[in-house]
Amino acid sequence: MPGAATNGHPKGISGGDGIPQAGQLRLAIVGSVDDGKSTLIGRLLFDSKQIFQDQLEHVEETSRRRGDGYVNLALLTDGLRAEREQGITIDVAYRYFATPRRRFVIADTPGHIQYTRNMVTGASTADVAVILIDARKGVVEQTRRHAYIASLVGVRHLVACVNKMDLVDYDEAAFDSVAADFRDLAAKLEIPDITLIPVSALNGDNIVDRSEKMPWYEGPPVLYHLEHVHVASDRNLHDVRFPVQYVIRPMSDEHHDYRGYAGQVASGVLHKGDEVVVLPAGLRTRVKTLDSFDGELPEAFPPQSVTVLLEDDVDVSRGDMLVGASDQPQTARRLEATVCWMTDQPLTARGRYIVRHTTREVRAIVEEISHRTDVHTLEPVPGANTLELNDIGAVTLRLSAPLVVDDYRRNRQTGSFILVDEATNATVGAGMITAAAD
């Protein structure tokens, strides 16, 4: 069966050592309900020969049982029973595949407005957002909402797939009309790289291979574009940020004087011998050694997990941060942030929450709700007293202890945080820092 692998490993994956160093790409697939997100992912997997024969047979059988009349490739990704019964995507489902050019991690995010918080989760770590737009309906409210959220969480590359072109007879004018509306929307967003591609996910047009039905489109198909989009320069490799997650002291006879600080490099490049500052204490020292599971390293960069040994015996604990001596972040007790609210209980002024930021946790009180964002116009609406479920707004927080932070636009890792309910320990909001003060 074309598109399916039969011998235990999907065809097209050459193994960890065989894939060139184009690296890994994290994708968020977003769009309104029934715009074809799951079908697009299923088509990518099928046409790039990333599924097994038994998976395909199961999808064929389920499609027949549902009376679809065709092989419903969306069933490859709609894994939850509730999703299959309702024909929608509820939670963020992560899929993994690879081509000879690049590895991919796909976040298939919900389209329903009540699951906007899940879309925020899926897009927050994405390099590229792929937004599906129905060629018949054009740019709708959820298109605006999802494009705005992608911009908000710092996605720098957006691919707008104008889907279901087969239902408008592959008409160039229909595509041009949707593309013009989307470009008007994109002009209000802070996304530097935007690409528009006409596709039919159901029939595979312009997904993996160029479509002969749309000769007027001269650009690449979706997979080729994703294989070649350049994201390495998006990472902040200038500002050294190393949140300490764990202090390692074996206390054995062999390693009685070993004291290392384990964590993941958030940004910048750490080298042996670099001068660093321990924040918030402000102590200065140098990197003695960078250890990893495979041995000592000459340097470490994001998102590597390493253990840092320092030349001086300074006091460092979980929640502290090692930073570059010449590019220090701000130590703040007050934060201004854009917050996406994720729970039924509204955020209110004077509300008390726990702020979790990198490896540090502090208590906070909401001083002010400056405004709520109208997703229709993308304009601020002043005078908001609360943020309701799925609302996005500007909030000022006062912290019980200082945090070491950057502006989110400069550093996604040290510029973001989550808000946690003190009573239930549930995550209730996601924040992106816009300003900080002592």
How is 175-242 classified by DSSP, letter by letter? HHHHHHHHHHHHTTS--SEEEEEE-BTTTTBTTTB--TT-TT--S--HHHHHHH---GGGS--SS-EE
Domain match, 280 and 210 both:
no
The predicted pLDDT at position 139 comes to 93
Q: What's the pLDDT tens digit per position in 141-162?
A: 888 888 988 898 899 999 999 9
Could you tell me if residue 204 is left (phi over 0), alpha (psi between -120 and 50 degrees) or otherwise beta?
left
Compute the distance between CA of residue 390 and CA of residue 375 in angstroms, rounded to an integer: 11
CA atoms in the 13 A half-sphere facing the CB of 337: 32
Q: Which residues have C-beta within 8 Å of that of residue 117, sequence separation ≥ 6?
A: 340, 341, 342, 389, 390, 430
| 422 class by beta-carbon count within 10 Å (0-12 exposed, 13-18 middle, 19+ buried) | exposed
- The last residue of a domain, from among 208, 234, 260: 234
DSSP calls for 98-154? E-SS-EEEEEE---SGGGHHHHHHHHTT-SEEEEEEETTT-S-HHHHHHHHHHHHTT
Q: Are residues 215 and 304 in the same domain?
A: no
211/105 same-domain check: yes
Are 176 and 46 part of one and the same domain?
Answer: yes
Which CATH number is 141's domain given?
3.40.50.300
Q: Are residues 47 and 163 in the same domain?
A: yes
Higher pLDDT, 208 or 244: 244
Residues 109 and 52 grouped into a single domain:
yes
Confidence (pLDDT) at 70: 56
Each residue's pLDDT tens digit, 60-71: 566 566 666 555
Q: What is the pLDDT of residues 106-132, one digit of tens each?
A: 887 764 555 566 677 778 889 999 999
Instruction: Looking at the structure, tell me whether residues 184 and 166 fall in a common domain.
Output: yes
Single pTM value for the model: 0.79
Say whether the peptide bond before residue 280 is cis (omega within 30 degrees of 0): yes
Q: Which two tokens stand for residue 137?
A: 């309906």
Residues 128 and 277 in one domain: no
Do 265 and 372 lie in one domain? The reply is no
Last residue of a domain, one of 219, 234, 249: 234
pLDDT of residue 72: 54
Least Cα distance to 104 among 226, 197, 231, 230 occurs for 226
Assess whether 307 and 347 both reside in one domain: no
Strands (E), 358-423: 360-374, 379-382, 386-387, 392-405, 416-420
User: Which residues contact residue 375 at a Cβ distance below 8 angstroms, ignoring those fewer than 6 apart?
Assistant: 141, 144, 145, 148, 392
Q: Is the pLDDT of residue 357 over 60?
A: yes
The tally of domains found in the chain comes to 3
One domain for residues 229 and 267 = no
* CATH number of the domain where residue 287 is located: 2.40.30.10
Kindly tell me if the per-residue pLDDT of 52 is higher than 60: no
Cα torsion for 172, 174, 177, 181, to the nearest 10°? -120
Q: What is the mean pLDDT of residues 42-71?
A: 62
Q: Which residues contact 257 (CB under 8 A, 6 or more apart)?
A: none
Distance CA 15, CA 36 (A): 30
Last residue of a domain, one of 170, 204, 234: 234
Average pLDDT, the chain: 83
Please tell me the distance from the alpha carbon of residue 242 to that of residue 324, in angstroms, as a whole number.
9
Q: Nearest-CA neighbor of 288 among 317, 257, 318, 331?
A: 257
Whether residues 228 and 257 share a domain: the answer is no
Instruction: Give the range of the structural domain holding residue 285, as residue numbers without chain letter.
Output: 241-324
Place of tokens 């009376």: 67
Closest CA to 95 of 136, 63, 130: 130
Distances (CA, A) of 224 to 99, 149, 237: 10, 25, 27
Give the separation between CA 107 and CA 45, rounded to whole angstroms.
Answer: 14
State the maximum Cα–Cα separation within the chain, in Å, rounded to a whole number. 76
CA 383 to chain centre: 31
Residues 377-424 pLDDT 10s: 778 898 888 999 888 999 999 999 999 999 999 999 999 999 999 999
